[in-house]
C-alpha cells in the first residue's frame, strides 16, 4: 500500500513547487504548443518571483501531493469574496494511476465547503480531453469560457463549475 499525503506548501517549498509546476505543465501541453511559446510561458508563469507572489497571496494556497514521500503532483486553490476556484491541479505522469487527481479534487472540495462555498469553479483547456472527461465524471458542468494566452497563442479554456 502506498502512503499518500497532501501537504501545504510554503516558501521553503519554492524550488520543489517550481520544478513540479514546470514538469507537469510541460508534460501535459508540450506536444500541442511551439517550443518558443512553451518556454516563454514556463519562464514567466513558474518563475521564482511569480511563485513567491502566489505563495504570499492570502487568498491562495498550494498543496503538494506525495506518494511514499515522493512529490507526485500539486494543486492551487483560490478563495476570495465567497468564490472558490481550483486554479491548478497537476499530477506527475509516473503517478497518474494512483487516483491522485480525485484525492486532490476531494481536498479542494473539502476546502471549499469549509469556506462555506456553494460551488467550486475551474478552467480546463478545450482540447484537454482527459481532464474534461475527469471533471465531467466528478460532476462539473461547463458554464462559460475565456482566453488563456500561452506565449503568443490565445487558447480557449472552458470554465467548469460543480455545485456543492
Cell numbers 463549475 correspond to 161
Which residues share a beta bridge with 78? 60, 85
For 27-70, what is the HEC assignment? HHHHHHCCHHHHHHHHHHHCCHHHHHHHHHCCCEEEEEEEECCE
Rounded to whole angstroms, the Cα distance separating 21 from 45 reads 9
Residues annotated as part of the active site? 135
DSSP letter at 74 equals: E
Amino acid at each position: 500500500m502506498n502512503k499518500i499525503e497532501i501537504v501545504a506548501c510554503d516558501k521553503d517549498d519554492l524550488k520543489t513547487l517550481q520544478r513540479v509546476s514546470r514538469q507537469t505543465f510541460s508534460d501535459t501541453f508540450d506536444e500541442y504548443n511551439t517550443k518558443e511559446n512553451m518556454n516563454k510561458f514556463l519562464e514567466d508563469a513558474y518563475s521564482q518571483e511569480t511563485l513567491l507572489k502566489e505563495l504570499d497571496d492570502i487568498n491562495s494556497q498550494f498543496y503538494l501531493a506525495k506518494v511514499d514521500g515522493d512529490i507526485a503532483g500539486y494543486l492551487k486553490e483560490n478563495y476570495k469574496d465567497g468564490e472558490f476556484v481550483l486554479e491548478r491541479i497537476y499530477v506527475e505522469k509516473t503517478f497518474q494511476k494512483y487516483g491522485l487527481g480525485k484525492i486532490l479534487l476531494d481536498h479542494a472540495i473539502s476546502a471549499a465547503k469549509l469556506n462555506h462555498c456553494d460551488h467550486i469553479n475551474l478552467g480546463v483547456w478545450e482540447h484537454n480531453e482527459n481532464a474534461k472527461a475527469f471533471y465531467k465524471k466528478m460532476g462539473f458542468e461547463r458554464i462559460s469560457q475565456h482566453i488563456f494566452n500561452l506565449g503568443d497563442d490565445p487558447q480557449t479554456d472552458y470554465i467548469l463549475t460543480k455545485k456543492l
